[in-house]
Amino acid sequence: MTKLGVYSEVGRLRAVMVHRPDMSIRRLTPANCREFLFDDILWVEKAQEEHDAFVRVLTEEGVTVYYSSDLLTHVLEPEENRRWVVDRVVNPVTVGPSACAPVRMCLREMEPGQLAMHLVGGLTRKELECIYLEGMNRSSLPVASTPPDSFILPPLPNSLFPRDSSSWIGDGVTINPMRWPARRPEAVNVGAIYRFHPIFRDRGTRTWYSCLEGGEGISLPYQGYPSMEGGDIMPIGRGTLLAGMGERTSGPTLEHLAGTLLSSGAVESVIVAQMTHDRAHMHLDTVFSMLDVDMVTVYPKVTRSLRTFRITRGEGQSPFLVTEEGDFLSAVAHALGEEKLTVIPTGGDEYEAAREQWDDGNNVLAVKPGRVVAYDRNVHTNRNFRKAGIDVIEVEGSELSRGRGGGHCLTCPLHREGI
């Protein structure tokens, strides 16, 4: 890969990072899936088949695909890198003071591939073969009070959706503070990739925002700590960042990010869409995504009620100028230099549209202007796209969609051209 940077939502897509369904998905059960933010368990082998087919489509479209597990394994080869990762994942907050040192030592001694597997797939007490657990039972309350199959490190099944843990905006990246504890350790893994892998390290990647700054343990912020997830972050191009503010992304974090981007000249304005806090539309990209330079898809039931704000650089002692816009879609059109956007709604009647929005009908991935990848199950929405002249590449998503994410969520763009 010769370039990094994301300059639009629909320009030619050149490179992405993905995560293939793995042991972390196998750890989901009917009893624990909601704890890990899943509504159901997935048929893992089928999900892998669907993901492999999705990646093949991207490759055939000329997109370079990087697997996060491969990048992380490479990063963990040097001992100092393993120490950096392990010391941030395993600390007195996560495993208790007594178990901290021995668990760290055990993980550092693992082979890079094994460690990468457990950092995402989780680690149970009985899998800690290098630790004398009978002795730990006498010194560690978390070990003594839990069964052998309890997690020392929890699995991170939402790694399937790398869109959220980091976001590329222009030539820089954010490492995001995730809203829920079940996702927060993902930032350590992706942060290590950007910090140590030569693809990123040797290019001097700019960091607009990182929840890892400040030392170990900060990836597990206190309740109420500002949060931001990549499904709410859309660099739509032409000097504008579009951001959702709702269940997963907070106003203080967006204001912090806006200040950095505006002061550096990376963007000229930030448009913020304020959403209700609802599982069905946890991120902006679940109800809105771009299909072409002047065409978008929306779930009208949500988007027509969005409050929309525009942030630009302030004057004098005021760092920002915040203005409320009259209409979300008009604000986006204006930012893109368009008089009006062509809007393609979620397809079908009221009931079919609700089902297809839930199954990621609006969460599509553009590989170039006017050409998108979408789940085949959303037949009414895909029909609307085609009627509007959009070239739709359908992929099967009967299992992947159970995780509540489509092609947009399944990818973290690393290089996308502008418009």
Enumerate the active-site residues.
409
Helix/strand/coil (H/E/C) assignment for every residue in 232-246: HEEEEECCEEEEEEC
What is the residue-wise DSSP string for 158-189?
GGG-TTTTEEEEBTEEEE---SSTTTTTHHHH
User: What's the CA angle centered on 300, arms 294 and 305, to 5 degrees?
Assistant: 105
As a whole number of Å, the end-to-end CA separation of the chain is 20
Classify residue 113 as exposed, middle or buried by CB count within 10 Å of its CB (0-12, 13-18, 19+): middle
Structure tokens at 337: 């230099």
**Alpha-carbon radius of gyration of the chain:** 21
- Look-up of token digits 């094994």: 114
User: What's the CA angle centered on 294, arms 293 and 297, to 5 degrees?
Assistant: 100
Q: Which of 165, 179, 151, 154 has its CA nearest to residue 19? A: 165
- Look-up of token digits 């040097």: 78
